[in-house]
Amino acid sequence: MKKAMITGITGQDGYYLTELLLAKGYEVTGIVRRTSTPNTSRIENFLSHPGLKIIEADLCDSSSLHKAISLVKPHEIYNLAAMSHVATSFFQPEYSADVNGVGTVRLLEALRSNNLEGFTKFYQASTSELYGKVQAIPQNEKTPFYPRSPYAISKLYAYWAVVNYREAYGMFTSNGILFNHESPMRGLNFVTRKITSSVAKVKQNKMSVLKMGNLDAKRDWGYAKEYVEGMWMMLQQNIAEDFVLATGETHSVREFITEAFRAIDIDIEWRGKTGSLEEKAFCTKSGKVVVEISPELMRPAEVDLLIGDYSKARTKLGWAPKTKFSELVNLMMENDMRLVAEGKL
Ligand code: NAP
Ligand code: G4F
Protein backbone atom coordinates (compact mmCIF):
# COMPACT_ATOMS: atom_id res chain seq x y z
CA MET A 1 0.00 0.00 0.00
CA LYS A 2 1.29 3.44 -0.94
CA LYS A 3 1.77 5.92 1.89
CA ALA A 4 1.26 9.65 1.43
CA MET A 5 1.85 12.48 3.87
CA ILE A 6 -0.02 15.78 3.51
CA THR A 7 1.00 18.97 5.29
CA GLY A 8 -1.84 21.50 5.27
CA ILE A 9 -4.42 18.69 5.30
CA THR A 10 -6.92 20.90 7.14
CA GLY A 11 -6.99 23.49 4.32
CA GLN A 12 -9.00 23.66 1.08
CA ASP A 13 -6.57 21.63 -1.04
CA GLY A 14 -5.86 19.27 1.86
CA TYR A 15 -9.53 18.32 1.88
CA TYR A 16 -9.71 17.47 -1.85
CA LEU A 17 -6.33 15.73 -1.91
CA THR A 18 -7.27 13.54 1.07
CA GLU A 19 -10.50 12.58 -0.68
CA LEU A 20 -8.59 11.70 -3.85
CA LEU A 21 -5.78 9.70 -2.20
CA LEU A 22 -8.12 7.74 0.10
CA ALA A 23 -10.23 6.84 -2.96
CA LYS A 24 -7.06 5.60 -4.65
CA GLY A 25 -6.34 3.31 -1.66
CA TYR A 26 -3.44 5.28 -0.17
CA GLU A 27 -2.67 5.24 3.52
CA VAL A 28 -2.74 8.99 4.24
CA THR A 29 -1.05 10.78 7.12
CA GLY A 30 -2.09 14.35 7.75
CA ILE A 31 0.12 16.83 9.55
CA VAL A 32 -2.04 19.01 11.78
CA ARG A 33 -0.68 21.87 13.87
CA ARG A 34 -1.77 22.48 17.43
CA THR A 35 -4.49 25.12 17.80
CA SER A 36 -6.56 26.12 20.83
CA THR A 37 -9.81 25.30 19.02
CA PRO A 38 -10.22 22.37 16.60
CA ASN A 39 -9.00 23.10 13.07
CA THR A 40 -10.17 19.85 11.46
CA SER A 41 -13.71 20.88 10.46
CA ARG A 42 -13.07 20.47 6.71
CA ILE A 43 -11.78 16.88 7.08
CA GLU A 44 -14.28 15.84 9.81
CA ASN A 45 -15.84 13.19 7.54
CA PHE A 46 -12.50 11.51 6.90
CA LEU A 47 -11.29 11.36 10.52
CA SER A 48 -12.87 7.94 11.14
CA HIS A 49 -11.57 6.53 7.82
CA PRO A 50 -9.20 3.60 8.51
CA GLY A 51 -6.82 4.90 5.82
CA LEU A 52 -6.26 8.25 7.55
CA LYS A 53 -3.85 8.98 10.41
CA ILE A 54 -3.21 12.38 11.96
CA ILE A 55 0.13 13.44 13.44
CA GLU A 56 0.58 16.72 15.28
CA ALA A 57 3.54 18.70 13.91
CA ASP A 58 4.33 22.20 12.74
CA LEU A 59 6.21 23.56 9.73
CA CYS A 60 8.00 25.89 12.18
CA ASP A 61 9.38 22.98 14.22
CA SER A 62 12.09 20.76 12.69
CA SER A 63 12.05 18.01 15.30
CA SER A 64 8.29 17.40 14.95
CA LEU A 65 8.70 17.09 11.17
CA HIS A 66 11.69 14.75 11.53
CA LYS A 67 9.72 12.48 13.90
CA ALA A 68 6.60 12.42 11.73
CA ILE A 69 8.59 11.43 8.66
CA SER A 70 10.58 8.82 10.56
CA LEU A 71 7.32 7.25 11.82
CA VAL A 72 5.62 7.12 8.41
CA LYS A 73 8.41 6.91 5.80
CA PRO A 74 5.99 8.12 3.12
CA HIS A 75 6.31 7.32 -0.59
CA GLU A 76 4.90 10.76 -1.37
CA ILE A 77 4.79 14.07 0.52
CA TYR A 78 2.49 16.90 -0.51
CA ASN A 79 3.65 20.13 1.13
CA LEU A 80 0.47 22.21 1.15
CA ALA A 81 0.94 23.90 4.53
CA ALA A 82 1.38 27.66 4.35
CA MET A 83 0.41 31.06 5.62
CA SER A 84 -1.46 31.32 2.34
CA HIS A 85 -3.21 34.71 2.57
CA VAL A 86 -1.40 37.32 0.47
CA ALA A 87 -2.89 40.39 2.21
CA THR A 88 -2.02 38.97 5.66
CA SER A 89 1.58 38.43 4.57
CA PHE A 90 2.08 42.22 4.41
CA PHE A 91 1.28 42.34 8.15
CA GLN A 92 3.16 39.13 9.05
CA PRO A 93 6.12 39.02 6.65
CA GLU A 94 8.54 37.26 8.97
CA TYR A 95 6.07 34.55 9.98
CA SER A 96 5.14 34.00 6.31
CA ALA A 97 8.83 33.53 5.47
CA ASP A 98 9.23 31.09 8.36
CA VAL A 99 6.28 28.82 7.51
CA ASN A 100 6.35 29.04 3.72
CA GLY A 101 10.05 29.44 3.02
CA VAL A 102 12.12 27.94 5.83
CA GLY A 103 9.30 25.46 6.59
CA THR A 104 9.78 23.89 3.16
CA VAL A 105 13.51 23.51 3.74
CA ARG A 106 12.81 21.97 7.18
CA LEU A 107 10.65 19.34 5.50
CA LEU A 108 13.20 18.62 2.77
CA GLU A 109 15.94 18.32 5.41
CA ALA A 110 13.73 15.98 7.47
CA LEU A 111 13.65 13.66 4.44
CA ARG A 112 17.43 13.80 4.17
CA SER A 113 18.03 13.23 7.87
CA ASN A 114 15.78 10.14 7.62
CA ASN A 115 17.80 8.91 4.60
CA LEU A 116 14.70 9.05 2.42
CA GLU A 117 16.09 11.31 -0.32
CA GLY A 118 16.11 8.47 -2.86
CA PHE A 119 12.71 7.11 -1.78
CA THR A 120 10.13 9.84 -1.13
CA LYS A 121 8.63 11.95 -3.91
CA PHE A 122 7.98 15.56 -2.85
CA TYR A 123 5.29 17.94 -4.13
CA GLN A 124 5.63 21.65 -3.37
CA ALA A 125 2.61 23.97 -3.48
CA SER A 126 4.16 26.73 -5.57
CA THR A 127 2.03 29.53 -6.90
CA SER A 128 1.19 31.87 -9.76
CA GLU A 129 1.85 34.69 -7.24
CA LEU A 130 5.52 34.12 -8.17
CA TYR A 131 4.82 35.85 -11.52
CA GLY A 132 3.58 38.98 -9.68
CA LYS A 133 4.27 41.91 -11.96
CA VAL A 134 4.01 39.66 -14.96
CA GLN A 135 6.86 39.56 -17.46
CA ALA A 136 4.84 37.72 -20.15
CA ILE A 137 1.22 36.94 -21.00
CA PRO A 138 0.21 34.14 -20.55
CA GLN A 139 2.58 32.76 -17.90
CA ASN A 140 4.22 29.34 -18.21
CA GLU A 141 7.08 27.37 -16.59
CA LYS A 142 9.67 29.52 -18.41
CA THR A 143 8.23 32.95 -17.49
CA PRO A 144 10.56 34.91 -15.16
CA PHE A 145 9.26 35.58 -11.64
CA TYR A 146 8.64 39.04 -10.13
CA PRO A 147 7.08 38.56 -6.67
CA ARG A 148 4.93 41.39 -5.28
CA SER A 149 4.26 40.38 -1.65
CA PRO A 150 6.02 38.84 1.37
CA TYR A 151 3.93 35.73 0.61
CA ALA A 152 5.27 35.51 -2.94
CA ILE A 153 8.85 36.14 -1.77
CA SER A 154 8.59 33.31 0.76
CA LYS A 155 7.21 31.00 -1.93
CA LEU A 156 10.05 32.02 -4.27
CA TYR A 157 12.57 30.81 -1.68
CA ALA A 158 10.68 27.51 -1.37
CA TYR A 159 10.44 27.16 -5.17
CA TRP A 160 14.23 27.43 -5.55
CA ALA A 161 14.86 25.14 -2.58
CA VAL A 162 12.81 22.47 -4.36
CA VAL A 163 14.79 22.95 -7.59
CA ASN A 164 18.06 22.99 -5.65
CA TYR A 165 17.39 19.77 -3.69
CA ARG A 166 16.49 18.07 -6.99
CA GLU A 167 19.74 19.18 -8.60
CA ALA A 168 22.03 18.89 -5.56
CA TYR A 169 20.83 15.59 -4.09
CA GLY A 170 18.95 13.97 -6.98
CA MET A 171 15.70 14.06 -4.99
CA PHE A 172 12.32 13.67 -6.72
CA THR A 173 10.97 17.15 -5.95
CA SER A 174 8.33 18.91 -8.09
CA ASN A 175 6.91 22.42 -8.00
CA GLY A 176 3.26 22.69 -8.98
CA ILE A 177 2.88 26.32 -10.05
CA LEU A 178 -0.84 26.54 -9.45
CA PHE A 179 -3.01 29.44 -10.48
CA ASN A 180 -5.91 30.41 -8.19
CA HIS A 181 -8.24 27.51 -7.53
CA GLU A 182 -11.47 27.84 -5.61
CA SER A 183 -14.31 25.73 -4.28
CA PRO A 184 -16.98 25.59 -1.59
CA MET A 185 -14.08 24.61 0.73
CA ARG A 186 -12.22 27.90 0.09
CA GLY A 187 -11.42 30.00 3.17
CA LEU A 188 -13.95 32.79 3.73
CA ASN A 189 -11.37 35.58 3.48
CA PHE A 190 -10.23 34.80 -0.07
CA VAL A 191 -11.99 36.96 -2.61
CA THR A 192 -14.15 34.36 -4.37
CA ARG A 193 -15.59 32.85 -1.19
CA LYS A 194 -15.95 36.27 0.41
CA ILE A 195 -18.05 37.23 -2.61
CA THR A 196 -20.18 34.07 -2.78
CA SER A 197 -20.85 33.99 0.98
CA SER A 198 -21.68 37.73 1.07
CA VAL A 199 -23.88 37.69 -2.03
CA ALA A 200 -25.83 34.78 -0.50
CA LYS A 201 -26.30 36.88 2.66
CA VAL A 202 -27.42 39.93 0.66
CA LYS A 203 -30.01 37.75 -1.13
CA GLN A 204 -31.31 36.42 2.20
CA ASN A 205 -31.36 39.87 3.84
CA LYS A 206 -28.55 39.03 6.26
CA MET A 207 -26.19 41.68 4.85
CA SER A 208 -26.85 44.87 2.93
CA VAL A 209 -23.54 45.95 1.36
CA LEU A 210 -20.47 43.98 0.34
CA LYS A 211 -17.21 45.94 0.94
CA MET A 212 -14.45 45.19 -1.54
CA GLY A 213 -10.85 46.12 -2.39
CA ASN A 214 -9.38 46.20 -5.90
CA LEU A 215 -12.05 45.23 -8.44
CA ASP A 216 -9.70 45.46 -11.42
CA ALA A 217 -7.38 42.60 -10.43
CA LYS A 218 -7.67 39.71 -12.87
CA ARG A 219 -7.21 36.10 -11.93
CA ASP A 220 -7.17 32.71 -13.65
CA TRP A 221 -9.69 30.88 -11.43
CA GLY A 222 -10.14 27.09 -11.61
CA TYR A 223 -11.84 24.40 -9.53
CA ALA A 224 -9.67 23.07 -6.66
CA LYS A 225 -10.97 19.49 -6.95
CA GLU A 226 -9.41 19.22 -10.42
CA TYR A 227 -6.10 20.81 -9.37
CA VAL A 228 -5.31 18.20 -6.71
CA GLU A 229 -5.49 15.52 -9.43
CA GLY A 230 -2.75 17.44 -11.22
CA MET A 231 -0.63 17.42 -8.01
CA TRP A 232 -0.94 13.63 -7.83
CA MET A 233 -0.14 13.24 -11.54
CA MET A 234 3.11 15.21 -11.07
CA LEU A 235 4.33 12.64 -8.53
CA GLN A 236 3.44 9.69 -10.79
CA GLN A 237 6.05 10.77 -13.38
CA ASN A 238 9.41 9.01 -13.73
CA ILE A 239 11.32 12.29 -13.74
CA ALA A 240 10.61 15.20 -11.41
CA GLU A 241 9.65 18.42 -13.16
CA ASP A 242 7.76 21.65 -12.47
CA PHE A 243 4.31 22.23 -13.96
CA VAL A 244 1.81 25.08 -14.34
CA LEU A 245 -1.85 24.23 -13.65
CA ALA A 246 -4.33 26.87 -14.84
CA THR A 247 -7.43 27.36 -16.97
CA GLY A 248 -5.99 29.76 -19.56
CA GLU A 249 -8.88 32.19 -18.90
CA THR A 250 -8.82 35.36 -16.84
CA HIS A 251 -11.60 37.40 -15.20
CA SER A 252 -11.64 40.50 -13.01
CA VAL A 253 -12.92 40.61 -9.42
CA ARG A 254 -15.71 42.86 -10.77
CA GLU A 255 -16.76 40.15 -13.26
CA PHE A 256 -16.78 37.56 -10.46
CA ILE A 257 -19.15 39.73 -8.42
CA THR A 258 -21.49 40.34 -11.38
CA GLU A 259 -21.52 36.60 -12.13
CA ALA A 260 -22.24 35.69 -8.48
CA PHE A 261 -25.31 37.97 -8.43
CA ARG A 262 -26.39 36.66 -11.84
CA ALA A 263 -26.23 33.09 -10.48
CA ILE A 264 -29.12 33.96 -8.15
CA ASP A 265 -31.02 36.01 -10.74
CA ILE A 266 -30.02 39.47 -9.48
CA ASP A 267 -28.89 41.97 -12.10
CA ILE A 268 -26.48 44.61 -10.87
CA GLU A 269 -25.26 47.81 -12.47
CA TRP A 270 -21.82 49.38 -11.86
CA ARG A 271 -21.81 53.16 -11.47
CA GLY A 272 -19.06 55.69 -10.69
CA LYS A 273 -15.65 55.92 -12.36
CA THR A 274 -14.33 52.41 -13.04
CA GLY A 275 -11.50 51.57 -10.64
CA SER A 276 -12.13 54.62 -8.43
CA LEU A 277 -13.02 54.56 -4.72
CA GLU A 278 -16.46 55.95 -5.69
CA GLU A 279 -17.37 52.95 -7.83
CA LYS A 280 -20.47 51.11 -6.53
CA ALA A 281 -22.80 48.36 -7.69
CA PHE A 282 -26.57 48.81 -7.51
CA CYS A 283 -29.31 46.20 -7.68
CA THR A 284 -31.10 47.08 -10.93
CA LYS A 285 -34.51 46.08 -9.54
CA SER A 286 -34.43 47.66 -6.05
CA GLY A 287 -31.98 50.49 -6.79
CA LYS A 288 -30.11 49.67 -3.52
CA VAL A 289 -26.30 49.79 -3.23
CA VAL A 290 -24.99 46.23 -2.91
CA VAL A 291 -21.22 46.69 -3.38
CA GLU A 292 -18.87 49.51 -2.38
CA ILE A 293 -15.11 50.02 -2.08
CA SER A 294 -13.13 50.05 1.18
CA PRO A 295 -9.68 51.60 0.71
CA GLU A 296 -8.26 49.55 3.60
CA LEU A 297 -8.81 46.38 1.53
CA MET A 298 -6.35 47.59 -1.12
CA ARG A 299 -2.89 45.97 -0.96
CA PRO A 300 0.41 47.89 -0.75
CA ALA A 301 1.46 46.16 -3.99
CA GLU A 302 -0.92 44.31 -6.29
CA VAL A 303 -0.73 41.50 -8.82
CA ASP A 304 -2.81 42.94 -11.66
CA LEU A 305 -3.18 40.10 -14.11
CA LEU A 306 -2.68 36.36 -13.99
CA ILE A 307 -3.42 34.00 -16.85
CA GLY A 308 -1.72 30.63 -17.11
CA ASP A 309 -0.54 28.49 -20.00
CA TYR A 310 -0.95 24.87 -18.90
CA SER A 311 0.20 23.25 -22.18
CA LYS A 312 3.11 21.41 -20.53
CA ALA A 313 0.73 19.76 -18.01
CA ARG A 314 -1.69 18.90 -20.82
CA THR A 315 1.03 17.27 -22.95
CA LYS A 316 3.11 15.51 -20.29
CA LEU A 317 0.52 14.74 -17.58
CA GLY A 318 -2.66 14.58 -19.64
CA TRP A 319 -4.16 17.14 -17.24
CA ALA A 320 -6.73 19.73 -18.31
CA PRO A 321 -9.27 21.82 -16.39
CA LYS A 322 -12.95 20.97 -16.94
CA THR A 323 -15.04 23.41 -14.90
CA LYS A 324 -15.71 26.73 -16.64
CA PHE A 325 -15.75 30.09 -14.84
CA SER A 326 -19.57 30.41 -14.68
CA GLU A 327 -19.93 26.77 -13.50
CA LEU A 328 -17.44 27.45 -10.70
CA VAL A 329 -19.31 30.56 -9.57
CA ASN A 330 -22.61 28.66 -9.73
CA LEU A 331 -21.42 25.73 -7.65
CA MET A 332 -19.96 28.06 -5.00
CA MET A 333 -23.14 30.17 -4.94
CA GLU A 334 -25.34 27.09 -4.61
CA ASN A 335 -23.30 25.90 -1.63
CA ASP A 336 -23.29 29.28 0.14
CA MET A 337 -27.01 29.91 -0.48
CA ARG A 338 -27.67 26.62 1.31
CA LEU A 339 -25.25 27.33 4.18
CA VAL A 340 -26.72 30.80 4.77
CA ALA A 341 -30.27 29.40 4.70
CA GLU A 342 -29.24 26.75 7.26
CA GLY A 343 -27.69 29.45 9.48
CA LYS A 344 -24.22 27.91 9.07
CA LEU A 345 -22.61 31.04 7.62
P1 NAP B 1 -5.35 27.04 3.02
O2 NAP B 1 -6.77 26.63 2.87
O3 NAP B 1 -5.02 28.35 3.61
O4 NAP B 1 -4.62 25.90 3.92
C5 NAP B 1 -3.35 26.10 4.46
C6 NAP B 1 -3.00 24.91 5.34
O7 NAP B 1 -1.71 25.11 5.91
C8 NAP B 1 -3.97 24.70 6.53
O9 NAP B 1 -4.15 23.32 6.70
C10 NAP B 1 -3.18 25.29 7.69
O11 NAP B 1 -3.56 24.78 8.94
C12 NAP B 1 -1.78 24.81 7.31
N13 NAP B 1 -0.73 25.50 8.04
C14 NAP B 1 -0.52 26.83 8.14
N15 NAP B 1 0.55 27.09 8.91
C16 NAP B 1 1.03 25.89 9.31
C17 NAP B 1 2.13 25.50 10.14
N18 NAP B 1 2.94 26.38 10.71
N19 NAP B 1 2.34 24.17 10.32
C20 NAP B 1 1.52 23.26 9.78
N21 NAP B 1 0.45 23.56 9.01
C22 NAP B 1 0.23 24.87 8.79
O23 NAP B 1 -4.59 26.94 1.62
P24 NAP B 1 -5.02 26.20 0.26
O25 NAP B 1 -5.84 27.13 -0.55
O26 NAP B 1 -5.52 24.84 0.57
O27 NAP B 1 -3.62 26.09 -0.46
C28 NAP B 1 -2.75 25.00 -0.24
C29 NAP B 1 -1.33 25.40 -0.61
O30 NAP B 1 -1.28 25.79 -1.97
C31 NAP B 1 -0.78 26.59 0.18
O32 NAP B 1 0.61 26.35 0.36
C33 NAP B 1 -0.98 27.77 -0.75
O34 NAP B 1 -0.03 28.78 -0.47
C35 NAP B 1 -0.76 27.12 -2.10
N36 NAP B 1 -1.47 27.69 -3.24
C37 NAP B 1 -2.82 27.87 -3.18
C38 NAP B 1 -3.49 28.33 -4.29
C39 NAP B 1 -4.98 28.53 -4.28
O40 NAP B 1 -5.48 29.22 -5.19
N41 NAP B 1 -5.70 27.93 -3.35
C42 NAP B 1 -2.77 28.60 -5.48
C43 NAP B 1 -1.41 28.38 -5.50
C44 NAP B 1 -0.76 27.90 -4.39
P45 NAP B 1 -4.77 25.45 9.80
O46 NAP B 1 -6.03 24.80 9.29
O47 NAP B 1 -4.42 25.06 11.19
O48 NAP B 1 -4.74 26.92 9.55
O1 G4F C 1 -8.56 35.79 -3.28
P2 G4F C 1 -7.33 36.54 -3.02
O3 G4F C 1 -7.03 36.92 -1.62
O4 G4F C 1 -6.17 35.66 -3.66
P5 G4F C 1 -4.68 35.97 -4.21
O6 G4F C 1 -4.10 37.16 -3.58
O7 G4F C 1 -4.75 35.93 -5.69
O8 G4F C 1 -3.91 34.68 -3.65
C9 G4F C 1 -4.47 33.38 -3.75
O10 G4F C 1 -4.06 32.79 -4.96
C11 G4F C 1 -2.63 32.57 -5.06
C12 G4F C 1 -2.38 31.95 -6.44
O13 G4F C 1 -2.21 32.97 -7.39
C14 G4F C 1 -2.22 31.65 -3.93
F15 G4F C 1 -0.88 31.40 -4.02
C16 G4F C 1 -2.53 32.29 -2.58
O17 G4F C 1 -2.20 31.38 -1.54
C18 G4F C 1 -4.03 32.58 -2.54
O19 G4F C 1 -4.72 31.35 -2.52
O20 G4F C 1 -7.31 37.89 -3.89
C21 G4F C 1 -7.52 37.90 -5.28
C22 G4F C 1 -7.61 39.34 -5.77
C23 G4F C 1 -6.46 40.23 -5.29
O24 G4F C 1 -6.02 40.99 -6.38
C25 G4F C 1 -7.10 41.15 -4.27
O26 G4F C 1 -6.52 42.43 -4.16
O27 G4F C 1 -8.81 39.92 -5.25
C28 G4F C 1 -8.51 41.23 -4.81
N29 G4F C 1 -9.51 41.63 -3.80
C30 G4F C 1 -10.37 42.67 -3.94
N31 G4F C 1 -11.12 42.80 -2.83
C32 G4F C 1 -9.71 41.07 -2.61
C33 G4F C 1 -10.73 41.80 -1.98
N34 G4F C 1 -9.13 40.00 -2.01
C35 G4F C 1 -9.57 39.64 -0.77
N36 G4F C 1 -9.01 38.55 -0.18
N37 G4F C 1 -10.56 40.34 -0.12
C38 G4F C 1 -11.17 41.44 -0.68
O39 G4F C 1 -12.06 42.05 -0.11
What string of pLDDT tens digits covers the 345 residues of the chain? 999 999 999 999 999 999 999 999 999 999 999 999 999 999 999 999 999 999 999 999 999 999 999 999 999 999 999 999 999 999 999 999 999 999 999 999 999 999 999 999 999 999 999 999 999 999 999 999 999 999 999 999 999 999 999 999 999 999 999 999 999 999 999 999 999 999 999 999 999 999 999 999 999 999 999 999 999 999 999 999 999 999 999 999 999 999 999 999 999 999 999 999 999 999 999 999 999 999 999 999 999 999 999 999 999 999 999 999 999 999 999 999 999 999 999
Residues 6+ apart with CB under 8 A from 55: 29, 30, 31, 32, 68, 71, 72
Closest CA to ligand 2's atom 4: 190
Of 149, 151, 190, best ligand 2 pocket probe by most atoms within 8 Å of the beta carbon: 190
Q: How far apart are CA 167 and CA 159, in angstroms?
A: 13
How is 207-231 classified by DSSP, letter by letter? Answer: -S-EEES-SS-EE--EEHHHHHHHH
Residue 129 Cα to ligand 2 midpoint, Å, equals 10
Planar angle of CA 251, 20, 47, nearest 5 degrees: 115
Q: How far is CA 62 from CA 30, 102, 110, 184, 194, in A?
A: 16, 10, 7, 33, 34
Active site residue 151: yes
Q: How far apart are CA 270 and CA 279, in angstroms?
A: 7
Ligand nearest to the CA of 83: 1
Q: Is 294 in the pocket of ligand 2 (CB under 6 A)?
A: no
Ligand nearest to the CA of 106: 1
Residue 319 Cα to ligand 2 midpoint, Å, equals 25
Residue 190: CB atoms within 10 A of its CB come to 16
Phi first, then psi, for residue 276 (nearest 5°) are: -90, 170
Residue 253 Cα to ligand 1 midpoint, Å, equals 22
